[in-house]
Amino acid sequence: MSWIYLILAICLEVAGTTNMKLSQGFTKIVPSILLFVFYACSFSLMTIVLKKIDVSVAYTIWSGLGTALIVGIGIIWFKESVTLMKMISIIFIIIGVIGLKLSSGAQ
């Protein structure tokens, strides 16, 4: 169940970061409120996750996959530039996340 909570925490963190962009520097009220709600929920789930999964593994997966997803959202939704270096970097992040998951054993 901890891995499901970790996935949900990642999705909520990505939603919070997306709303950070949509808030336009806290000038849009709904995205400004939502960014705090999503981050609070994400951190709450992460606290539960850390009861069963090592912090080194959970936090790296949370931040790494969150970063990769935000890059995708930035490119697709916010029309940010796509560069070869950006794509190679995301591939390395994903490889690192897979490596950490494999090294963590059955939890």
Residue pointed to by tokens 């925490």: 9
Handedness of CA 92, 18, 4, 42 (dihedral sign): positive
Tell me the pTM: 0.89
How many CB atoms are located within 10 Å of the residue 86 CB? 14
pLDDT digits (tens, 9 = 90+) for 54-106: 998 899 899 999 999 999 999 999 999 999 999 999 999 989 888 888 887 65
- Residue 106: its pLDDT value, please? 53
Handedness of CA 26, 72, 66, 34 (dihedral sign): positive
pLDDT digits (tens, 9 = 90+) for 1-49: 999 999 999 999 999 999 999 999 999 999 999 999 999 999 999 999 9
- Residue 99: its pLDDT value, please? 87
- Residue 84: its pLDDT value, please? 95
Percent of the chain with pLDDT over 70: 97
Domain boundaries, the chain: 2-103
